[in-house]
Amino acid sequence: MLTRRDHLRLLPSSALFPATSREAAEAGFVRVDTHVHIHQDAPELVAALGESGWRGLDIVICPAVGDEPFDLEAKLEATRRVAQRSGGVVAS
């Protein structure tokens, strides 16, 4: 069974960032999504975000459930790397 994340991975970037966002970017209006979760290298997603005129604020949460392992420092470092490589599209 596909998870929600699996479904999102299958969507084209145009489905995530509709034309109205591009029109706003062309008009000089920058939109900021203040709650994104990009904690691994995803250059296509970051590029689509930037091309659409959007910027993102990456949020780190502690999703540990039950005995699921969670390393907060590793997640924070991965998020910092995404922000550094994004060229200003994503902030953490």
Tokens describing residue 73: 């420092």
Residue 6 lies inside a defined structural domain of this protein = no
Residue 71 lies inside a defined structural domain of this protein = yes
Residue 5 lies inside a defined structural domain of this protein = no
What DSSP character marks residue 30?
P
Reported pTM: 0.61
Residue 40 lies inside a defined structural domain of this protein = yes
Residue 3 lies inside a defined structural domain of this protein = no
The pLDDT confidence band at residue 54, using thresholds 50, 70 and 90, is confident
- Domain holding 84, by residue range, is 12-91
Residue 4 lies inside a defined structural domain of this protein = no
Q: How far apart are the C-alpha atoms of 9 and 56, rounded to whole Å?
A: 18
What is the per-residue pLDDT across 55-77, written as a single tens digit (0 to 9) for each?
999 888 877 778 877 888 888 99
When divided into structural domains, the chain yields a total of 1
Residue 7 lies inside a defined structural domain of this protein = no
Residue 59 lies inside a defined structural domain of this protein = yes
Q: How far apart are the C-alpha atoms of 34 and 91, rounded to whole Å?
A: 9
What DSSP character marks residue 40?
S
